[in-house]
A and B are shown apart, each in its own frame.
Chain A
């Protein structure tokens, strides 16, 4: 026969079952906490993006090295040696710095990109003397890539002067310079333009007017599929100066061999990423 004292067993059983339920919930929530930690880790797991940032830094540093080499050395082979020294220095510092973060980074020159500096340093028509024949329509470069293309027009005798850039896909962009307006006609015939009182010199590859204001119409260079052809049309209708550097050989009044850029091999190892690629670095080249 059950006594008053023995009825407490049911309460005990209920309490035990409740405890089991609470423990089971605890196990479930513990797993949730781990996933929260995992989610938080994901936000800081930026190994791929930090690699992209490193590439951008390398483009900046080595691009500056190319400009420095071209500025300080007049001969192409000296420019090549100088940029290789620059890359070696960057590689040494980078390797030590990244090693502190448990990353192995190696940068080395794959090859130099040797080109030509074309210039008209004295004011004159934008024509070309082809073995005694003056041509107002001529091709400055075929299948080339260009950087630091600067034009300074000081006089015009017509409105039909054009610089035509034809990409590898056959699409042509036309730059027309008229008075105080830069007009860009795209392959479909659509026209965009920039105007200003202080137009020159125009940096065609950098999309800058007078070295101070930006001309969005000149951003077309980023859409041209390289390599491209650079043509001058009606060059007799303008007078002025121009300079540009191309990655191969071309035509112009003054030509000298010049370092255009460099390709570098990048090796990047970390616990979460293994990456090996080649970067093409040419400062001032539209990308």
Chain B
């Protein structure tokens, strides 16, 4: 049998089965593409989220230490010290919280597992608090030698 006769021979071939095979294989390929694409997006999102949490955590910690340096730059405690920092309200379309502890800052994704901890060293005491992510103010209380973070 010549090749041309072989190619034109449709004995034992079902069009329905051929169609199903084509669609099935195509579906498997497309599903695989969709899954891998979704995983890639999810991984990138987590990676980006973690990086952004780290940046914000370091920004808050740096601001606390800067306020502390200012407090210690004079012999007398300042009568008033308020540092304002503009931070984004959300990261990758997700809200977050900033938790201030005695020696570190924890920035955490709301409703998610991601959290970053940044250590802080200050002479003044840090008032433990938790605020929603966004613009903040760092206030010094000379009576208690405390630095407090509030939502700005």
Binding site for B on A (CB under 8 A): 1-2, 7, 10-11, 13-14, 17-18, 20-21, 24-25, 27-29, 31-32, 34-35, 38-39, 42, 45, 47-49, 51-52, 55, 271-280
Contacts and interface: CB of A to CB of B under 8 A. Distances in A.
Interface residues of B, number: 47
B80 A51 contact: no
A29 B62 contact: no
A262 B15 CA distance: 101
Nearest to B94: A31
Nearest 3 A/B pairs, CB to CB: A21-B37, A48-B66, A277-B78
Contacts of A17: 30, 33-34, 37
Contact of A48 (B34, B70, B74): B70
A38 B92 CA distance: 14
B22 interface: yes
A34 B92 CA distance: 10
Contacts of A278: 74, 76, 79
A144 to B, nearest CB: 16
A42 B83 contact: no
B27 interface: yes
Nearest to B87: A38
B37 A18 contact: yes
Contacts of B15: 1
Contacts of B26: 7, 10-11, 14
A257 to B, nearest CB: 24
A32 B52 contact: yes
B69 A35 contact: no
Interface in B79-113: 79-85, 87-88, 91-93
13 contacts: A10-B27, A25-B41, A28-B44, A29-B48, A35-B51, A35-B91, A49-B69, A273-B83, A275-B70, A277-B78, A277-B79, A278-B74, A278-B76
Given A28-B45, A31-B48, A276-B80, 6 more contacts: A2-B19, A17-B30, A21-B40, A42-B55, A272-B85, A280-B75
Contacts of B69: 48-49, 52
SS of A interface (majority):
helix
Contacts of B34: 17, 21
Nearest to B74: A277
A266 B22 CA distance: 80
Contacts of A29: 44, 48
Contact of B48 (A32, A39, A52): A32
Contact of A38 (B19, B33, B80, B88): B88
A81 B113 CA distance: 65
A272 B136 CA distance: 10
Nearest to B78: A277
